[in-house]
Amino acid sequence: LIARVKSAAAGSAVSARNRAIIAGIGDDCCVLRLPAGHEALITTDFSLEGVHFRRDWESAEATGHRCLARGLSDIAAMGGTPLAAFLSLALPPDLRQQWVDGFMRGLLKLAKEFGVGLAGGDTAASRTGVIADIIVVGSAPKGSAVMRSGARPGDSIYVTGRLGAAARRISELASARQRRWPDVLRTALPEPRIKIGERLRQRRLASAMIDVSDGLSTDLSHICEESGVGAEIHADRVPRAQVVGLRQPVDLRFALHGGDDYELLFTAKPSAKIPLGIAGVPVTKVGLITRSKQMVLIAHGGARQTLRPRGWEHFGRRS
């Protein structure tokens, strides 16, 4: 198993023709050259079987895709450009080769799409379940990375795309127990918003940014905490995902608290001209940054209630 992963990975590093990677797999470290005047952006994300994914709930390709998408999304949230990925992968001895091949296929297809070479990692035997840790290294011009800490009272709050599809899918799967739900599984795979992040950073449009990996309410609370501010969100402005086979968009709770959407949540000065769409993806104003350090949800009629960070907890995922 491990040998196949290594050979698949080695092939990709070459085919990516990534000029940043001076030396990749086959030495003690990868040697990476950053563009002149750039800083390195580094992020790591676990994908643990039974915690972040279940093999009976989705294809191996989807799991491989999402494993890398989580890291790329963090680079997008800084306004960065991804350069290289590193995969630490531990596999149980009885795992089918077919699954491993599918996982690597899904991961490497996404890597190729974003010009990211798989430049290293580690492999091991796992006693139980698949253990993957993805590390993505990107870069941004010195001092230009968009942090979580830059939101100021009066800034508008925006979100890309539509939220809640992933959470609704997991909710359906969890309630069905062991049954497979092919229609639900056909949910589109998350597309890391690299281009949108780059555009916002280049034009200095965003004052703070984060990706929606743990749910809007939880990720917004991180911006509020790091920036020392509060927020008001208008419930009827939150863009809810439309799921195939359903007439209505997903419930508000999925859009507010559901994780795994990998859209971008950002703030911008009132004077900033934010387009209605960037790189073909809708951008929606959902609220306002406030001086009071609380998060408030404003209903259609104007009623206000406290918005608590309760990112979607599927099968005890968040700890």
Residues binding a copy of itself (CB under 8 A): 1-2, 22-23, 26-34, 39-46, 48, 50-52, 74-75, 77-78, 80, 84, 86, 88, 90, 93, 119-129, 131, 133, 135, 137-138, 140, 142, 145, 147-149, 209-211, 226, 316-317, 319
Alpha helix stretches (DSSP H) within 158-235: 165-175, 182-185, 194-202, 216-227
Report the residue number, 86 or 312, with the smaller CB distance to a copy of itself: 86
Q: Smallest distance from the beta carbon of 252 to a copy of itself, in angstroms?
A: 25
In the complex, the smallest distance separating the C-beta of residue 249 from a copy of itself, rounded to whole angstroms, is 27
- CB-count burial class (<10 Å; 0-12, 13-18, 19+) for 305: exposed
Contact 293, 230 (CB under 8 A): yes
Name the residue type at position 5.
Answer: V
Nearer to a copy of itself, 79 or 249 (CB): 79
CB 53 within 8 A of CB 76: no
With both helix axes pointing from N to C terminus, report the angle between 2-15 and 97-113 in degrees, rounded to the nearest 10.
Answer: 20
How far apart are the C-alpha atoms of 285 and 276, rounded to whole Å?
9
- State the DSSP string of 221-256: HHHHHHHT-EEEEEGGGS-BPP-TT-SSPPPHHHHH
CB of 22 to a copy of itself, least distance (A): 6
Q: Which two tokens stand for residue 315?
A: 């099968």
Q: How far is the CB of 170 from a copy of itself (least distance, A)?
A: 16
- Give the amino acid at 144: S
What is the total residue count of the chain? 319
Q: List 160's β-bridge partners, or say none.
A: 283
CA distance 69 to 191: 7
Least Å distance, CB 315 to a copy of itself, is 10
CB of 254 to a copy of itself, least distance (A): 22
**CB closer to a copy of itself out of 108 and 243:** 108
Least distance in angstroms from the C-beta of 148 to a copy of itself = 5
Nearer to a copy of itself, 48 or 189 (CB): 48
Cβ proximity to a copy of itself, 306 vs 319, nearer residue: 319
132/235 with CB nearer a copy of itself: 132
CB atoms within 10 A of CB 185: 14
- Closer of 83 and 108 to a copy of itself (Cβ): 83
